[in-house]
């Protein structure tokens, strides 16, 4: 990417308001109501809306009842929630609804077809979170490869062994083969980070070859080849009918027994019982997961009992600058749509 999060945020806040603000304030924006569906949304996005004359209604709790309670008559939804945005919510909002700004890159929780059928414009926030998610993918890869969770458990249980050179050996990233399933912007960012680890080769698979992949030396292969040859398999695909449950028993059976699996996409992409079997039976070496099913994951879930899995509670975009940039872009998408213009990042 050619910018960092801070410069992106400043561009959104300064550039957008100075260049476009006069088009939106006073006459067009003053009567529009925008419902913000999360009480913890960074203030920068809300300020952009109010500065342009919008009436902002913000829920005090992120739950469906609270959202439906305040949705009637709004012109736009600032959807910063993992809750389902479906026909019921749109019916309550009413026919005057013009825009939905989704504060996330993924939108599998949104009934896009229903919204578009009603002529509602939708936009998400794919760009601001590339770096943060890529950083987290590398963190999970390294932690799983070097058995970080298992090692911590041994310390906690007073089982730290000294003098045994074979104790707690992990997997090397140097001279390894890394396979990325879904080489979009996040996947490309992951590869660029891992290049500094002297990886032997990068493989990727998807619907077609990509020019950007050739520029960074990644090789396009079939899914089977990627699974059979990769020491690390990183999945970064959107959740669709095609990808749901794609990581099943057959998928894991093709991986090396020394391989590490990393998922920073969506939980349902993985057949979770199949992953658990692969981890327990030694079919794969370890896994690093930022997403799982369900979310939140119960504390007594079987995944939490496995020493060879590193779990994080869906923290991919969880940095101050990233979330602020996402908030800004969500507000700007809404303002564009309310002004009868194309959103910056439309769906």
Q: Which of 127, 130, 149, 314 is catalytic?
A: 314
Pairing assessment for the beta strands 33-36 and 55-58 based on DSSP bridges:
parallel
Q: Is 314 an annotated catalytic residue?
A: yes
Asked whether the beta carbons of 174 and 197 are under 8 A apart, the reply is yes
* DSSP calls for 120-159: -EEE---STTHHHHHHHHHHHHHHHHTTHHHHHHHHHTT-
**What's the CA gap between 20 and 82, in Å, rounded?**
30
From the CB of residue 259, how many other CB atoms can be counted at a distance below 10 Å?
A: 26
Angstrom distances, CA of residue 108 to CA of 148, 166, 192, 237, 299: 32, 45, 27, 12, 25
Q: ∠ at Cα 130 (126, 132), nearest 5°?
A: 125
Angstrom distances, CA of residue 327 to CA of 12, 83, 259, 331, 343: 10, 17, 37, 6, 14
**What's the CA gap between 236 and 141, in Å, rounded?**
13
Asked whether the beta carbons of 90 and 120 are under 8 A apart, the reply is yes
- Active-site positions? 314
């Amino acid at each position: 990417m050619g910018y960092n999060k801070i410069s992106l945020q400043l561009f959104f806040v300064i550039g957008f308001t100075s260049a476009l603000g006069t088009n939106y304030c006073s006459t067009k924006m003053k009567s529009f109501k925008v419902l913000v569906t999360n009480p913890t949304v960074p203030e920068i996005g809300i300020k952009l809306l109010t500065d342009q004359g919008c009436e902002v209604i913000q829920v005090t709790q992120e739950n469906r009842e609270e959202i439906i309670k305040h949705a009637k008559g709004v012109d736009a939804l600032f959807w910063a929630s993992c809750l389902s945005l479906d026909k019921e919510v749109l019916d309550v909002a009413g026919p005057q609804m013009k825009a939905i700004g989704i504060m996330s890159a993924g939108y599998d929780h949104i009934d896009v077809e229903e919204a578009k059928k009603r002529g509602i414009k939708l936009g998400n926030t794919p760009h601001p979170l590339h770096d943060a998610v890529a950083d987290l993918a590398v963190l999970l890869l390294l932690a799983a490869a070097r058995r970080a969770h298992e090692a911590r458990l041994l310390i906690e249980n007073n089982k730290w062994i000294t003098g045994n050179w074979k104790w707690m050996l992990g997997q090397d990233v140097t001279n390894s083969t890394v396979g990325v399933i879904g080489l979009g912007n996040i996947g490309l960012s992951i590869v660029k980070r891992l290049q500094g680890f002297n990886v032997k080769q990068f493989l990727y698979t998807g619907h077609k070859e990509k020019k950007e992949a050739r520029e960074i030396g990644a090789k396009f292969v079939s899914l089977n080849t990627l699974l059979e040859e990769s020491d690390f398999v990183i999945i970064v695909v959107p959740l669709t009918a095609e990808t749901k449950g794609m990581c099943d028993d057959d998928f894991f059976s093709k991986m090396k027994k020394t391989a590490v699996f990393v998922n920073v996409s969506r939980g349902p992409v993985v057949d979770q019982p199949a992953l658990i079997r692969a981890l327990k039976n030694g079919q794969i070496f370890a896994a690093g997961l930022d997403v799982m099913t369900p979310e939140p994951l119960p504390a007594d879930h079987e995944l939490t009992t496995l020493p060879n899995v590193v779990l994080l509670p869906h923290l991919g975009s969880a940095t101050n600058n990233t979330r602020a940039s996402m908030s800004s872009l969500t507000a700007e998408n809404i303002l564009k749509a309310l002004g009868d213009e194309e959103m910056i990042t439309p769906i």
